[in-house]
Structures are given as C-alpha cells and as structure tokens.
Amino acid sequence: MPIDQVLKLVGGLDLDSKSINTWKMGVERALKKYLPNGTKASGQKCPNCGQETLIYQEGCLICTSCGTSKCG
Ligand SMILES: [Zn+2]
C-alpha cells in the first residue's frame, strides 16, 4: 500500500479517544517523513482553494495552486 494511501486511511479515522488521536497524529507525522518531496496527496483537497493540487514537501502539505502550506 502506498504511503499516501495509508495516510489517507489513518487521517480518515474518526476517533473519540484523545490518546488514539494523539497516536494518529504521530503516525501521520512519522509517515509524512518517508514521503518523497513532490508526492501528490491524492484525494485530498486544498482547504483554501478546494483544488486537488496538494503535494507533500518535507512533511508538509503544499498546494501547488495557491501556495497554501499545512504542516504537522
Ligand atoms: Zn490551494
């Protein structure tokens, strides 16, 4: 399974437990480090412009359309 798909799966988990959510964020952060720069975040939309033009850059999500970046 590609890392970005795992990330999508983990990110899509709807969990109530605070400790599980902390785990989830840790997993997401750790996985993002293994993504090569420029990996497309398929299926994820930019929160700013709504385009599916997000890529991973050094663990951050960057929108190639409007320049929005989201880290962590
Ligand atoms: Zn954007």
Residues 2-59 have pLDDT tens digits of: 888 887 888 777 777 888 888 888 888 888 888 888 999 888 899 999 999 999 988 7
Tell me which residues have their CB within 5 A of the ion that is ligand 1. Answer: 46, 48-49, 63, 65-66, 68
Pick the closest to residue 58 from 71, 68, 46 (CA basis).
71
Half-sphere exposure of 72 (CA within 13 A, CB side): 1
53 C-alpha to center of ligand 1: Å?
Answer: 7
pTM of the model: 0.64
Residues 54-65 have pLDDT tens digits of: 999 887 889 999
Indicate the residue type of 61: L
Which phi and psi angles does 35 have, rounded to 5°?
-80, 130
Pick the closest to residue 71 from 20, 18, 32 (CA basis).
32
62 C-alpha to center of ligand 1: Å?
Answer: 8
71 C-alpha to center of ligand 1: Å?
Answer: 14
59 C-alpha to center of ligand 1: Å?
Answer: 17
Q: Exposed (0-12), middle (13-18) or buried (19+): which is 1, by Cβ within 10 Å?
A: exposed
Q: Which residue range is the domain that position 7 belongs to?
A: 3-71
